[in-house]
Amino acid sequence: MVGEGLWIVADVVTAARMNMKTLYIGAAAPGTTYAGMLWFDTDDDKLYQRNAADDAWIERTGELDSSLGVDDTGSGIITVDTVGENVSAGEVLFMESDGKYWKADADTAAKMPATVMAMGTILADAAGKLLHVGYFRHDAWAWVLGAGAANLLFASVTPGAMSQTSPVGSGDQVQVCGYVVTADIVFFNPSYVVTELV
């Protein structure tokens, strides 16, 4: 750059230059590295990032673990956010206009869609772990593993709950929240498509 706001032709960012400093794509690690640089390894289809000291690669490819060995644990996209009422592990929640999460209720359109699952007991107006997408184990569950659509889980007319049976009442909201993996493990992946029954 020459002077303020003036670029000389040699400083135009080329694809090769961007690749060298920000993202490298190839089967072997790049010879020249920079702190924070990304490398997509085409040999194993994984994404790596160079650490701050520029002396090691950190794997950034997310792999979810479905073999959860402990009650009320999960693997997936998890945040720490505030709830508006007392919630328990495994309950599904929606975001209210106050920015807090409350129990989803398929009886009421204004309390849908379910977008997160509580990963433990969280008291009203406190923050706790919420699962957005991923596997969750809750030993109190007793889901029945079936075939195909029989494994789907729906937001329930019981606030915060899920059910293997779709709501059927007039005005009820139908939303798929995930599917059964085992009697006590689900894959939570809420659809944002909600259908109101007439």
64: in domain: no
Query: 136, 120 in Cβ contact below 8 A?
Result: no
Cis check for the bond before 190: say yes or no (omega within 30 of 0): no
Mean pLDDT within 40-52: 79
| Number of domains into which the chain is organized | 2
Alpha-carbon distance 89 to 110, whole Å?
22
pLDDT band at 62 (very low <50, low <70, confident <90, very high): low
Same domain, yes or no: 178 and 133: yes
Same domain, yes or no: 103 and 176: yes
Alpha-carbon distance 45 to 14, whole Å?
25
Express each pLDDT in 114-155 by its tens digit. Answer: 999 999 999 999 999 999 989 999 999 999 998 888 999 999
Same domain, yes or no: 86 and 178: yes
pLDDT band at 12 (very low <50, low <70, confident <90, very high): very low
Cis check for the bond before 113: say yes or no (omega within 30 of 0): yes
pLDDT band at 22 (very low <50, low <70, confident <90, very high): low
Query: 76, 131 in Cβ contact below 8 A?
Result: yes
8: pLDDT strictly greater than 60: no
- Per the structure, the complete domain to which residue 23 belongs is given by 9-59
68: in domain: no
Same domain, yes or no: 119 and 190: yes
The conformation of residue 3, written as its DSSP 8-state character, comes to: S
pLDDT computed for residue 10 by the predictor: 43
Give just the sign of the alpha carbon dihedral 80, 103, 185, 70.
Answer: positive
Same domain, yes or no: 150 and 82: yes
2: pLDDT strictly greater than 50: no
Same domain, yes or no: 83 and 48: no
127: in domain: yes
Same domain, yes or no: 123 and 37: no
Percent of the chain's residues with pLDDT above 70: 87
6: pLDDT strictly greater than 60: no
Same domain, yes or no: 125 and 192: yes
pLDDT computed for residue 38 by the predictor: 79
Same domain, yes or no: 41 and 85: no
3-state secondary structure of 10: helix
74: pLDDT strictly greater than 70: yes
Mean pLDDT within 32-56: 81
Mean pLDDT within 90-110: 97
Q: Strand 185-188 and strand 92-95: pairing?
A: unpaired
